């Protein structure tokens, strides 16, 4: 049974300029040249996306590609010029202001690059803030906030103020605050880009640990392909307001739809992207402790190369699906990763 679609957008446009509405009425799908000639800026152009329940869906592109604008259309922080945005099959663009406020308060969580913590409030008070707005009884709000503070690894720092925390700790407070209302859908707009590389890596690990426990539907923006590869189930790459390709990290590397997508992926070591299932010999018989087909080559390359015989590969249910040997791994590491 295919996973349920949690969030989708259909033919979404966001055009800026006095002639935007008129342009779409006269030309439902204008080209980039037609948009330019009309004196309009095409921030998002005819975007179509479906995001499954429990999926980490990464939207990426260079600065100015439209990724942040698209996410703000998906959450209706800004109004699309045209199109549909469906959340649990309900059209957000038809929702009343009160209904939209209710959805944002109870079903959506948002984390942005700038933490926006309230400096005069402690960690616990910052995390409790959304519950305070909801008029949650104080004992219940306190208990929920403490639980989430512990979840993000800040137990013992409940009474600290933001100025007393490191950048990574402040970001954890922002994450805790967005999770305290138990949202169904979680938007993260370049949440780790302001952090030092080591702290950023730690926050990515923390993010994956949280997702392992919480199974949220997540829309994550980044301009860093290596970060996207670590986190994403699927990636949408944008350019000039358009969604160029949507695929798994492995599919993007092996089958880029355009030269632009290929340029995005070419500097990433293939071993960090390709999985065991992508380079194994299907149906072959292996030995030893089996490896999951979803494991990245980089995580098991040393073990496979050191083995005297092919190693068995299993699917998510533990059933044998093939085997992988040192030759296949060496081809990924030293031969460019082309498995054809």
Within-domain flag for 137: no
> Does 207 lie in the same domain as 97?
yes
Residue 144 token pair: 């929920």
Is 69 domain-assigned?
yes
> Tell me, what's the pLDDT at 339?
43
Per-residue pLDDT tens digits for 202-233: 889 888 988 998 899 999 999 888 899 989 99
Answer yes or no: do 242 and 294 share one domain. no
- Residue 301, domain member (yes or no): yes
The CATH number of whichever domain residue 195 belongs to comes to 3.40.50.300
The list of the chain residues with pLDDT below 70 reads 115, 336-340
- Based on the fold, state whether residues 258 and 275 are members of the same structural domain: no
Residues 215 and 259 in one domain: yes
Q: Are residues 319 and 202 in the same domain?
A: no
**Quick check: is 62 in a domain?**
yes
Residues 217 and 297 occupy one common structural domain: no
Q: Which of 220, 237, 268 is the last residue of a domain?
A: 268
**Residues 254, 275 within the same domain:** no
Instruction: Tell me whether residue 117 is in a domain.
Output: no
> Is residue 242 located within the same domain as residue 277?
no
Q: Domain containing 326 — which CATH number? A: 3.90.1280.20
Instruction: Assess whether 57 and 195 both reside in one domain.
Output: yes
Are residues 307 and 204 part of one domain?
no
Boundary residue ending a domain (229, 252, 268): 268
Boundaries of domain holding 287: 271-334
pTM of the model: 0.86
Tokens of 278: 């992508």
Does 237 share its domain with 285? no
Inside any domain, residue 306: yes
For residue 170, tell me if it sits in a domain.
no
318 contact partners, CB below 8 Å, separation of at least 6: 290
Domain co-membership, 319 together with 234: no
**How many domains are contained in the chain?**
2
Query: 248, 268, 288 — which closes off a domain?
Result: 268
146 within domain boundaries:
no
């Amino acid at each position: 049974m295919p996973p349920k679609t949690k969030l989708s957008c259909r033919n979404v446009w966001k055009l800026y300029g006095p002639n935007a509405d008129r342009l779409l009425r006269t030309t439902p799908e204008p080209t980039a040249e037609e948009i330019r000639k009309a004196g309009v800026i095409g921030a998002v152009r005819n975007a179509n996306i479906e995001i499954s329940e429990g999926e980490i869906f990464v939207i990426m592109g260079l600065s100015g590609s439209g990724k942040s604008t698209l996410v703000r259309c998906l959450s209706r922080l800004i109004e699309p010029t045209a199109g549909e945005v469906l959340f649990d099959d309900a059209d957000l663009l038809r929702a009343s202001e009160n209904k939209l406020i209710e959805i944002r308060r109870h079903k959506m969580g948002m984390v942005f690059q700038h933490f926006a913590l309230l400096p005069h409030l402690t960690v616990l008070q910052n995390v409790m803030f959304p519950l305070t707005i909801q008029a949650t009884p104080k004992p219940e709000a306190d208990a929920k906030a403490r639980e989430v503070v512990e979840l993000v690894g800040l137990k013992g720092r409940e009474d600290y103020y933001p100025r007393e925390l490191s950048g990574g700790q402040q970001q954890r407070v922002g994450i805790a605050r967005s999770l305290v209302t138990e949202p169904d859908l979680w938007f993260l707009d370049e949440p780790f880009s302001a952090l030092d590389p080591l702290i950023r890596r730690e926050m990515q690990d923390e993010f994956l640990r949280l997702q392992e426990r919480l199974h949220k539907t997540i829309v994550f923006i980044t301009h860093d392909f290596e970060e996207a590869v670590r986190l994403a189930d699927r990636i949408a790459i944008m350019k000039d307001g358009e969604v160029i390709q949507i695929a798994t990290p492995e599919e993007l590397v092996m089958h880029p739809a355009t030269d632009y997508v290929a340029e995005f992926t070419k500097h990433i070591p293939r071993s960090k992207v390709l999985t065991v299932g992508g380079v194994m010999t299907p149906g072959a018989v292996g030995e030893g402790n089996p490896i999951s087909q979803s494991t990245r080559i980089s995580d098991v390359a040393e073990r496979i190369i050191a083995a005297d015989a092919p190693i068995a590969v299993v699917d998510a249910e533990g059933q044998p699906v093939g085997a992988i040997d040192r030759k296949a791994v060496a081809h990924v590491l030293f031969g460019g990763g082309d498995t054809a």
